[in-house]
Chains A and B, each alone.
Chain A
Amino acid sequence: MLARKQQGLSLIELMITISLGLLLMAALTTVFSNTLGVNSRSLQLSQLQQEATAVMELMISDLRRTGYRADANELLTDPDNASTDFNDSIVISLYPGEAANSCIEFRYDENQDGAFNGAPEAFGYRVREGQIQRRQSAASCNSGGWQTLTSADMLQVDSLTFLLTERMTMNVNEQIVTVQMAVSAPSDATLSREFSTEVVIRNAY
């Protein structure tokens, strides 16, 4: 027994051992890289989802306020002096070179003083070069000076469209803006999400 033990491994035995070891290592490496890959995709998807939901939520909650004016009651009590600057303020157009209906402008009485104060109460959102931008200083859709909300490292906005429709429900004329947005991860275009919401503009009439 002892003499046999000192014989060492034969070449065949050694090769079998090594190839088994290699196979095991290869399998392990695959599992390893797969797990890391899944983890990283999962992270990217989460980031994409969060970023897109946040920007979508911001846009629609802002849009809902369209047309609000603090002196709305004056439309009935003192129509001659009621402010008219907030009437039908939704304008949909585009930044040159972007897709149609990818820019929206609207107004509401943010400081609740019953008067349109220009730039601070002129709002808008658009897509430009794959990023969502918010209107600043009452700049128009076709000019620069808008503030970029999303980050090119996190989010690529593939499309953003606004569609304004009107419908009668229970004798109330409603304006509806349908917002559609498609986004994808900049590092991996196969990771994508589409969002679609109907925003009822309660202050339309």
Chain B
Amino acid sequence: MHTNHAQRGFATLTLSVLLLSIIILATLYTARFKAQEQRVMRNHAASQEAYLVADAALEQVIMLIDADRDNLTRSIDGTIAGATYSATTVGTRFNDTARGDIDLVDITVAAQSADGRGQRTFRQSLAVMPLIRSAPDVPIAIRGAMNVSGSFQVVANPNGGGDGVPLSIWTSDDVDINGNGTTCGQQEFDQGNCASLPFSERGDHGVDILDNDPNFPDDLMMYLFGIEEANWTDLKAMATAEYENCDSLNAASTGLIWISGPCELSSGQIGTEENPVALVIQDGDFRINGSMQIFGMVFAFRTPGNIATYDFKMNGGAVIQGAVMANFDPDLSNGNLTARYNAQVLQNVVTNDAFRRVYRVGGSWHDF
């Protein structure tokens, strides 16, 4: 009986030990598999992290390029959330493309996850292109009619209508010159003979006035900036500055300046020949009363769908060195104004850094 007791205990013990060891083995196997899974997941997370870091680094590099558009070939190292990246950019110049003189920048960003386990390399190209498609080739362009009075002078682009053919006013409707208005050549103007040796004057339209032109662009914004009028917010978003009015503008102002409201100016100077402005006045009167000098181009823009008429008045010896444009029939009543085509100013409006923008080249992103 005593031995029986012992043998029964032995069977239970053996069975328990057997079952326990099976369970331990199975658990160990699962644990090993789980540890493996953990490793796989950690690597996966590191790869995801490297992807996110590379993505953020690419955006950061694009910002840095945008901040200094002169310096397109450089190496940039940075840290994002403890993870490091290094980027190289190579800029190449292409002149005379369909979009003007452009710089293409090839970016390579190599990023790591914070623990160094994951690595990703992204490549993307950028284009640094002029905001203004091509410089306006005429000092005054109006989508509508032009009925002006007063003693204004318009100084023509000597080659605006083709080689040797001057162009001073370009409109889609009639041009009516009243008062002492004249248009003349650059040399005549420099010598003070604009009034005595004009191309056109009251009752005498010369070839330099191209009115009722059926080829006048339907969309002046598209013509100038390559952006449809309906998408004007895209252009506004690219502006260097946005103001409610023109009060804060001065000689140091440059770049694309968006004025959403009336622009009233009296005296002083806006922009310089080297650093001109491109003023877009959206749905507002444009009035100069005084000896204001503007270097650059002024574009009076009426939002599509808006049918209000806005003033376009320049009096008191105002001088615009560059070009004036409107995409609507403005209420003109001018006196004592000079609009002079200034090739240097208009070239700077296209090529200056303040007028160049960074665009992503579609189809250039890759991670291999």
Contacts and interface: CB of A to CB of B under 8 A. Distances in A.
A94 interface: no
Chain A CB count within 10 A is highest, among B44, B237, B361, for: B361
Interface stretch (B19-27, B76-84, B328-336): B19-27
A43 B28 CA distance: 12
B22 A32 contact: yes
B98 interface: yes
A75 B362 contact: yes
A130 interface: no
B102 A67 contact: no
Interface in A71-122: 72-73, 75-79, 86-87, 108, 112
B37 interface: yes
A112 B124 CA distance: 13
A204 B362 contact: yes
Contact of A6 (B1, B19, B34): B1
Contact of B127 (A43, A46, A49, A76): A76
Contacts of A32: 19, 22-23
Given A28-B16, A50-B40, A67-B363, A8 B1 contact: yes
Interface size class of A (residues with CB under 8 A): 35 or more
Interface stretch (A34-42, A156-164, A187-195): A34-42
A68 B22 contact: no
Interface in B95-122: 97-99, 102, 104
Contact of B361 (A5, A8, A73): A73
A99 B147 CA distance: 67
Nearest to B106: A73
Given A39-B30, A42-B30, A77 B363 contact: no
Contact of A65 (B15, B37, B127, B366): B366
Given A28-B19, A46-B37, A171-B234, A68 B363 contact: yes
A72 B234 contact: no
A24 B15 CA distance: 12
Contacts of B29: 39
Contacts of A170: 237
Contacts of A36: 22-23, 26
Contacts of B102: 76-77
Contact of A35 (B23, B124, B125): B23
A56 B225 CA distance: 43
Among A76, A87, A205, the most chain B Cβ lie within 10 Å of the Cβ of A76
B363 A65 contact: no
B92 to A, nearest CB: 8
A29 B20 CA distance: 11
B244 interface: no
Contact of B364 (A21, A42, A73, A171): A73
Interface in B1-47: 1, 12, 15-16, 19, 22-23, 26-27, 29-30, 33-34, 37, 40, 44
Contacts of B94: 76-77
Contact of A50 (B27, B37, B124, B127): B37
8 contacts: A29-B19, A39-B30, A64-B367, A67-B362, A67-B363, A86-B363, A202-B360, A202-B365
Given A32-B22, A57-B44, A76-B99, 14 more contacts: A6-B1, A29-B19, A32-B23, A35-B27, A43-B33, A50-B40, A61-B367, A68-B365, A73-B127, A73-B361, A75-B363, A77-B102, A203-B365, A204-B362
Interface of B: 1, 12, 15-16, 19, 22-23, 26-27, 29-30, 33-34, 37, 40, 44, 94, 97-99, 102, 104, 124-125, 127, 129, 234, 237-238, 360-368
Interface of A: 5-6, 8-9, 21, 24-25, 28-29, 32, 35-36, 39, 42-43, 46, 49-50, 53, 57, 61, 64-65, 67-69, 72-73, 75-79, 86-87, 108, 112, 170-172, 202-205
6 closest cross-chain pairs (CB), A and B: A205-B362, A72-B364, A72-B363, A202-B365, A68-B366, A39-B30
